[in-house]
Structure 1
Amino acid sequence: MEFGLYSIGDRTPDPVTGRAPGEGERLAAIGAIAVRAERAGFDVFAVGEHHHRPYAVSAPVALLGWLAARTERIVLSTAATLITTADPVRLAEDYATLQHLAGGRLDVMLGRGLHPGVYAWFGRDLDDGYELAAENYGLLRRLWDEEEVDWSGRFRTPLTGFTAVPRPRDGVPPFVWHGTTRSPETAELAARYGDGLFANHSFWPPAHTRRLVAHFRERYAAAGHGPAEAAPVGLGGQVFVRPRSQDAVREFRPYFDAAPVYGRGPSLEEYQLTTPLAVGSPQQVIDRVLGFREYAGDYRRQLFLIDHAGLPLSTVLEQIDLIGAEILPVLRRETRPAPPTAPAGRPPAADRCPREHADLSPPEAGKSWSSV
């Protein structure tokens, strides 16, 4: 299994000091986090994309290019970039360029977007979200897989004899993850192409994630990409760790209470009982993360969010070192080796998967953060 970190690049004020980092300061901090993550032995570092305050990362390809120059081994990824509002031609060329510059150590995670306003800002309609994702990704896939593309669709001008440049490195596009918190349509799109599903289950109870992952595995097998258990699944989750659990809870509580996506709802203790949030000692975090396999099966990638909600950079760097030294070795020992990074070859896309699916809605107590 691969273990990594991801940042959504928020500039939430520190609830202890009241200070919010500037935009340039936050971007520089993300660079320091990526470098420290590589040094601590993590496999992946990923950054999100947002186009509204209080976030600092609106251009992940530029940030990841800078990170590629500052790192040597760690795989870089988006978490996620918006397939609904970006031009597929631009995406194809930007990320193929970055793949070359990073020496091949690049994945791309795609998402439909967290903020309803972003659709209008880019001239799109929120009601078209799923259709935009399906059409744009279909074109992106062709631009990477085919030397010359003739294409027409609903949401952009046609292409005639178009070749995206540069071509993917060694003829192999970046591996694609489709990120979602609750969307069966996103799971079906990932399954159709034999890609990975990143189920960011940070805010959802295990039963919800179990249904979403099972749905993806079933559709993956039905599309002919291999057995359901081989379907590439990734999970998110936030952790905060200190040598003593009491210290972890005490230190993290003000950040939890003030966080835009946590605060003003269930308590820290309630969240830990009903979601994957893990705040405690190294052993408690290890036990929680290993428990994810009870409802997601053997999965391929685990990403941790550790720089959210105004946590100071010094604290985040301490967290990286502690996780790298005391948690990662145990998790690696206790998890089975991952299957190959991508299926052999890329089979032709199956017919569009039907949109009928089991009810994936969480219990009433669940708290929605996103419609991706």
Structure 2
Amino acid sequence: MQFGIFTVGDVTPDPTTGGAPTEAERIRATVTIARKAEEVGLDVFATGEHHNPPFVPSSPTTLLGYIAARTERIILSTSTTLITTNDPVKIAEDFSVLQHLSGGRTDLMLGRGNTGPVYPWFGQDIRQAVPLTVEHYGLLRRLWREEVVDWEGELRSPLQGFTLAPRPLDGIPPFVWHGSIRTPEIAELAAFYGDGFFANHIFWPPSHTQKMVETYRQRFAHYGHGSPESAVVGLGGQVFMRPNSQDAVREFRPYFDNAPVYGHGPSLEEFSSLTPLTVGSPRQVIDRTLGFREYAGDYQRQLFLLDHAGLPLKTVLEQLDLLGEEVVPVLRKEFAVGRSPEAPAAPTHQSLLRERDTRAAKAKP
């Protein structure tokens, strides 16, 4: 399994001090967080894409390209790249460049986006969100896989004789995860193409995540990509830890109560009981995360949200120390116990390259 973190890049005042970082400080802090994630032994760093305040990651590949130059091992991904409002040609170009810069340490998560005003800002209609997703992704796949593309759709101008430059590294497109909170059509799209499915898993109860993942696994098998157990699944999660669980709850409560997304709603205790949010000791985070397998099956990628709601950078780095030193080593060991032999490892550029070369060798007379 792969373990990592994702950021939404919010610029939120610290409710305990009233102070907030500048946009420049928040962007630089994100780079520090990504480098720390590699330092403590995590596998993946992913950034969201937002085009409205109070968020700063409007250009994920620019940010990830800079992080690629400051890191050596960690996989750089997104959470998510907006397939609806971005042009698929630009997505193909940007991530091909990022592949080359990072030496293949690149994949991406595609999503529709849930901020209504963003659609007209980029000349799109939110009522066409699902059709845009399907059409744009169909074109994106071809751009990465075909030397010359002639294409015509309904929601974008046609292409004639288009060749992507640069081509994907080693001729291997970045692995694609399709991310969704609540849309079964996205699980269907991931299953149809045999791509990965990432259940956001941070706002809904386990029963909802279970239903989405089961739908994806069943349709993955229906389309002939393998057994349901061989489908590629990722999950999100939210944690806040201190060695003592009471200290964790006391420290995190003001951040939860004032968070721009779920603040001023259910209590911390209510939200923790209804969703995967875990606030407590490292052992509690381990036990809760191991429980995800009970309803999602053996899966391939676990990403945690740590740096939101105005938490100071110092606190986020302390969370990463706990995650890397006390939580992830145990999760790696425990998730390996009883794992189905049909459950694949998480895809990487190197594993996809090996698979292609193996297929080519078998095809030779």
The normalised TM-score by structure 2 is 0.93
State the alpha-carbon separation in 2 of the partners of residues 205 and 341 from structure 1: 25
**CA apart distance, 1:312:** 0.3
User: 2:86 & 2:260 partners in 1: Cα distance?
Assistant: 26
Counterpart of 1:277 in structure 2 is 277
Match of 2:186 in 1: 186
Q: How many residues align?
A: 345
Aligned to 1:33: 33
Aligned to 1:266: 266
Partner deviation per Cα, 1:315-345 (whole Å, 9 max, x = no partner): 0000001111111110010012762444756
Question: Partners in 1 of 2:54 and 2:40 — Cα distance?
Answer: 28
Residue 165 of structure 2 is aligned to residue 165 of structure 1: yes
Q: Which runs of 5+ in 1 are unaligned?
A: 346-372
The within-5 A match list for 1:337-356 is: 339-342=344-347, 344=355
Match in the other structure for 1:23: 23
One-letter code aligned to 2:317 = L
Shift of 1:172: 0.5
Q: 2:113 & 2:305 partners in 1: Cα distance? A: 18
Amino acid across the alignment from 1:34: A
Partners in 2 of 1:70 and 1:283 — Cα distance? 32
Q: Does 1:297 align with 2:297?
A: yes
Deviations 1:12-43 (A, max 9, x none): 11111111111111000000000000000000
Q: Note the alpha carbon deviations across 1:79-121, whole angstroms, 9 max, x for none.
A: 1010000111111011001001000000111110120000011
Give the aligned residue type for 1:317. Answer: L
Counterpart of 1:269, as a letter, is E
Deviations 1:277-312 (A, max 9, x none): 000011111000000111111110000000010000
Q: Take 1:341 and 1:245, find their aligned partners in 2: how far apart are those partners? A: 32
Q: Which residue of 2 aligns with 1:14?
A: 14
Indicate if the aligned counterparts of 2:2 and 2:346 stay in contact, CA closer than 8 A: no
- Please give the secondary structure, in 2, of the residue aligned with 1:129: helix
Q: Which residue of 2 aligns with 1:327?
A: 327
Q: Which residue number in structure 2 is paired with residue 355 of structure 1?
A: none
Equivalent runs, 1:50-65 vs 2, <5 Å: 50-65=50-65
Q: Distance in 2 between matches of 1:289 and 1:341?
A: 17
Query: Structure 1 residues 330-339 or 292-301, which shifts more?
Result: 330-339
Structure with more helix by fraction: 2
Residue 80 of structure 1 corresponds to 80
Q: Which amino acid aligns with 2:158?
A: P
TM-superposed deviation, 1:260: 1.3
Tell me which amino acid in the other structure corresponds to 1:20: A
1:225 maps to which residue?
A: 225
Q: Distance in 1 between matches of 2:52 and 2:310?
A: 17
Is 1:93–2:93 an aligned residue pair? yes
Q: Specify the code of the residue in structure 2 equivalent to 1:339.
A: P
Percent identity reads 65
For 1:253 and 1:97, locate their aligned partners in 2 and report how far apart those are by CA, in whole Å. 42
Q: Is the 8 A contact 2:37 2:45 kept in 1?
A: yes
Q: CA deviation at 1:127?
A: 0.4
Residue equivalent to 2:111: 111
User: Which letter does structure 1 place at the counterpart of 2:21?
Assistant: P
2:300·2:345 contact (CA, 8 Å) conserved in 1? no
The answer to whether residue 126 in structure 2 is matched with residue 126 in structure 1 is yes
Aligned to 1:335, what secondary structure does the other structure show? helix
Structure 1: which amino acid aligns with 2:129? G
- By how many angstroms is 1:271 displaced? 1.0
> Which amino acid in 2 is paired with 1:306?
L
For residue 30 of structure 2, what is the amino acid of its counterpart?
I
1:361 is aligned to: none
Q: Name the residue aligned to 2:361.
A: none
Equivalent position of 2:252 in the other structure = 252
Task: After TM superposition, give the deviation of residue 217 of structure 1 in Å.
Answer: 0.4
CA drift of 1:160 comes to: 1.1
Question: How much does 1:152 deviate?
Answer: 0.3
Tell me the distance in 2 between the aligned counterparts of 1:270 and 1:88.
40
Tell me the CA shift for residue 156 of structure 1. 1.4
1:202 and 2:194 matched: no
The RMSD of aligned alpha carbons is 1.0
String of CA shifts for 1:208-233, please: whole Å, max 9, x gaps. Answer: 11100000001111111111111110
In structure 1, give the amino acid aligned to 2:78. Answer: T
Letter in 2 for 1:111: G
Aligned AA for 2:254? P
8 Å Cα contact 2:301/2:346 also seen in 1: no
SS in 1 for 2:237: coil
Structure 2 Cα separation of the partners of residues 331 and 183 of structure 1: 29
Cα distance in 2 for partners of 1:270, 1:232 equals 31
